[in-house]
Amino acid sequence: MPLSAPADREPLHRRAITMHGYRRADGLFDIEGHLEDTKSYTFSGLDRGTIEPGEPLHGMWLRLTVDEDLTITACEASTDFSPYAICPNAAPNFAALAGIRIGPGFTRAVKERVGGSAGCTHLREMLAQMATVAFQTIYPVRRRKEAESPEAAEAARNRMIGTCLAYAPDSPILARRFGPG
């Protein structure tokens, strides 16, 4: 169901984010994200001069390599477009995310390693969405383990309880997926 009809309006800003999950030949998984911001009008930037409509203000890439347990084994970032010449210098710092596990405490660990002036706001913001893409990418592997092991199924159930409406403790979805708890 689409949103209601909007009021008359003029487009000013567009942010496009695309993310993909891949299984690698070595058994690891790559989660890649790309963010691009554009404006619908010409404006002047401090370091770049005139930026035309549709020309990227931000153009950034991020790749997380993770294992089946959602531990980041490598992280690579790149900035193709930014408002300031210094911005691409933050990209190499994202390699410090190696070793962090996507799960409870992930956001805090990211802030500790690439928060504030050590990182880039836009790349950091992408990480929360990439964590979800990682989970969705690895889901078939985890689901197979759940089918093979009651302990894995119980751990999955415990991870999911209360994370959204469908997995509320009294949800019929939770009961259908994992059985009575």
Per-residue pLDDT tens over the stretch 85-141? 999 999 999 999 999 999 999 999 999 999 999 999 999 999 999 999 999 999 888
Who wins on pLDDT, 117 or 170? Answer: 117
pLDDT, residue 5, reads 94
Q: Please determine, for residue 78, whether its predicted confidence score (pLDDT) is greater than 70.
A: yes
pLDDT, residue 181, reads 63
Who wins on pLDDT, 44 or 151? Answer: 44
Share of the chain above pLDDT 70, in %: 99
Place of tokens 């990682």: 134
174, 166 Cβ separation under 8 angstroms: yes
Rounded Cα–Cα distance for residues 10 and 25 (Å): 46
**pLDDT, tens digit (0-9, with 9 covering 90-100), for 25-57:** 999 999 999 999 999 999 999 999 999 999 999
pLDDT, residue 149, reads 80
pLDDT, residue 38, reads 98
Rounded Cα–Cα distance for residues 70 and 97 (Å): 12
- Is residue 70 within a helix (H) or strand (E), and if so which, with residue range? none
* Encoded amino acid at 96, one letter: A
* Encoded amino acid at 83, one letter: P
pLDDT, residue 129, reads 96
